[in-house]
Amino acid sequence: MLHTVSMNILKTLDLRQGPVQYSDTGSGEPILFLHGAMLSARLWRNIIPKLERHYRCIAPTLPMGGHTLPMPESADLSPQGQVQVIMELMDRLQLPEVTVVANDTGGALAQFLMNRCPERLKKVVLTNCDAFEIFPPRQFQYLVTCMKWPPFVDLMALNLRIPFARNLPFTLGDMSVKPLEIMDEYLQPLLNQKAIRRDLRKLFIGIHPRDTQKAAEGLPRFQKPVLVVWGKKDRLFPQELGRRLAAALPKSQLIWLENSKTLVPEDQPELLTELVHLFMEDRPLPSGSVQSGTRSERTYRRNA
């Protein structure tokens, strides 16, 4: 089945939770891309154009604050509700098995999938993301508390209209090694639509580290190949978290990226694209990889 080769052509599925937009490009073995909170499928805009030459690439914009179509007021948009959205999307697109590539909050959702439906995941690529007791990162824990007060999300959006406020370490300023070229695009739905802010609030008030800790207990039982690609400059998800995640997975490999923070697809798209392609093809990974459970550490620097 041949799919369109442009991420700019979005489709919409009306799921039980509500409408979800997604891109579906290329053909071949399917890869499902999962982004983080307040972002969108556009996080993968520099990854998919090369991978879609070889694979079917599906990138939904999950209802986590960067979406443009509000969900119904009754929708469960907690992290577990987001997992339900992903699983129904897979059902509707007739995807019995996929490789998941995930970043940030999307990495936590991927771990929930690894526990709930491991039979539907062929492989997993985890870049810097929530795990274990870090959900959300310490710098964003105030959001979980403050979002319980309904007016807070409107005040936050008001502040995010100020460019200086967007680049503070406790907003979006410490997630990338360089200014985000599409920061305005990521934030427009949140700034312009009260219903989108309501959806984001639902996500944050549903976040609790007990969910990622419970998921971590099941990671040793996940017997599929996992590639952990970790930006070394990240202060939200430190290097030790990447080590622990790789060590917990029995069939994992760990690769460090020298010049990246949280948003690996923004900071190092070419390297990530190459690593995903090698991983998909079961080809040897570069010398920067280490097998799970080992203590030796090397960094993948080529073409950085």
Element of type H or E holding 66: none
Q: What is the pLDDT of residue 2?
A: 40
Domain count, the chain: 1
- The answer to whether residue 1 is domain-embedded is no
Rounded to the nearest 10 degrees, what angle do helices 79-92 and 194-205 cross at? 110
pTM to 2 decimal places: 0.93
pLDDT for res 8: 72
Query: Are 197 and 153 a contacting pair, CB within 8 Å?
Result: yes
Residue 231 bridge partners (DSSP): 257
CA atoms within 13 A on the CB side of 76: 9
Residue 286 lies in a domain: yes
User: Across the 304 residues of the chain, what is the mean pLDDT of every consecutive 10-residue run?
Assistant: 58 97 98 97 97 98 98 97 98 98 98 98 98 95 94 93 75 82 92 97 97 98 97 95 97 94 96 97 76 46 47
For residue 126, the enclosing domain spans 11-300
Give a yes or no: residue 49 inside a domain.
Answer: yes
In the block, tokens 């073409």 appear at: 303
Q: Token digits for 7?
A: 């991420």
Would 23 be classed as within a structural domain?
A: yes
How far, in Å, are 52, 172, 179, 216 from residue 133 at the CA level?
A: 35, 21, 28, 9
In a domain, 234, yes or no: yes
The DSSP bridge pattern shows strands 252-257 and 299-300 to be parallel
The rounded distance, in Å, linking the Cα atoms of 209 and 167 is: 26
* Predicted local confidence at residue 293, as pLDDT: 41
35 inside domain:
yes
List CB contacts of 65: < 8 A, sequence separation 6 or more.
37, 38, 39, 189, 190, 196, 197, 199, 200, 203
List helix spans (H) across 17-73: 48-51
Question: Is residue 5 included in any domain, yes or no?
Answer: no
DSSP state of 286: P
**Terminal CA-CA length for the chain:** 35
Question: Please, which residues bridge with residue 22 across strands?
Answer: 11, 60
What pLDDT was estimated at residue 276? Answer: 98
pLDDT at 6: 59
Q: What is the pLDDT of residue 100?
A: 98
CATH number reported for the structural domain that contains residue 164 in this entry: 3.40.50.1820
Q: In terms of Cα–Cα distance, which of 67, 40, 8, 56 is closest to 196? A: 67
Query: Under a CB-based contact definition with an 8 Å cutoff, are residues 38 and 65 in contact?
Result: yes
Are residues 75 and 34 in contact, defined by beta-carbon separation less than 8 angstroms? no
Q: Exposure string (b/e) for 228-259, b if CB count within 10 Å is 16 or more?
A: bbbbbbbebbbeebbbbbbbbbeebbbbbbee
Residue 188 located in a structural domain: yes
The Cα angle at residue 14 between residues 9 and 15, in degrees rounded to 5: 120
